[in-house]
Amino acid sequence: MSAVVEKPAALDEAAFADLKAELTAWVTGPGEEWAERIEATGDVPPELFAELRERGYLSLAAPPALGGRGIPFPRYLELMEIVSRSHASVRMLVHVINGTWRAMAPYATPQQLDEIVKPSVAGDALVAFTLTEPTAGTGADLRTTVRREGDTYYLNGEKHLITFGVKCDYWLLAARLEGTRGHEGTVALLVPNDGLPGVEVVDDSETMGVRGTDHAILRFRDVPVPVSTRLGDEGQGLEVALGGFLLPSRVSVAMSCVGLAERAQELAIEYANRRETFGKKLRDRQAVQFYLAENYADIAAARALVLQAARAYEDGAPDAGALSSASKMVAVDMLARVTDKALQIHGGQGYWHRNAIERVYRDARAQRFEEGTNEIQKLVVARAVLDGTAGF
């Protein structure tokens, strides 16, 4: 196992404040222009990816040893909060690329670090997290299998809902050795998306929201994959996927809910301040005031829990897993309430595509299943509560 993931250095607060100001200016300026272009075309253009890379927004969280800025996780989430006020596909790129290294780096060989992990952090290679299956959940019931013959695995199975699965350079894929059950025998592989025989990639990108981000259905039939592509040892596949990526990623998604809710609230306030009915501004109507007050409290409460979960993860606290799931569980429910009230404040105008709240409302629905549904999060939290590891 690699020792490249070091503790972050002390943060230069003045430089960090400048970075937050720069990012805010980009989100409210060029970011909005990109959002309009993405919605019009249904595609994230290569120029946008290049701009995010050149600005360093894809390498915020990784340690300097990997080419990143080494921003501590709770402080990185302050940046994710800002990014999430932008288009959902922008948020998705920043979120995924700033997160997949966490799963790869602790288990990568020196060669994998140089050829895949560091280029991923730099934004020169795109890695798609490849866990979810159409006939199983996202854990120990994996059905995608590998059969080992010498130095080669033969991969069989199907994955779906794989974000960036069409355009990525590598699939960070979880499978299991044929004949094994549970966590035993699971493996994590860095499978190159370069035309391997037996791979079928189906573009499944037509979604309700998060327009522009590609999604794939992947089918594997006796695909030869070198054993050297494996991350860690046999039996560590779910350790890589769940602890390395999903635990912090759930906290990041929770903060993305906070950022998007803040954008919805901002749009609602703007509309309430300008819209007049029966000679009276919406802002002066008690029902609207109550909506905005409830949204404010909802957002503040969720944000506090997300930051608590982030600190627990960074400190390696025993309740980090429970807090990760709890933060996402609370944040996605909060986002649903806030966006619904924000849309209601807009009245019928909010239903039309020309108004930003319509996109925000559609995009908000995706977080309810991203990195596991709330039903899954509740099971994780309940297990921790019952076995005494949840803490208070």
Q: Which residues are catalytic?
A: 371
CA distance 58 to 121: 7
CA atoms 247, 248, 253, 258: torsion sign: positive
Q: What's the count of helices (H) and strands (E) in the chain, helices before strands? A: 14, 10
Residue carrying structure tokens 């099971």: 379
Number of C-alpha atoms within 13 angstroms, CB side, residue 334? 30
- Kindly give, in sequence order, each residue whose CB lies less than 8 Å from that of residue 29, ignoring residues fewer than 6 positions away: none
Backbone torsions φ then ψ of 281, nearest 5 degrees: -65, 145
Residue with tokens 């309009």: 36
**CA end-to-end distance (rounded Å), the chain:** 32
Residue from 280, 283, 370, 374 nearest 334 by CA: 374
Q: What span, in angstroms and rounded, lies between the C-alpha atoms of 138 and 112?
A: 25
Which token pair is 329?
Answer: 């569980």
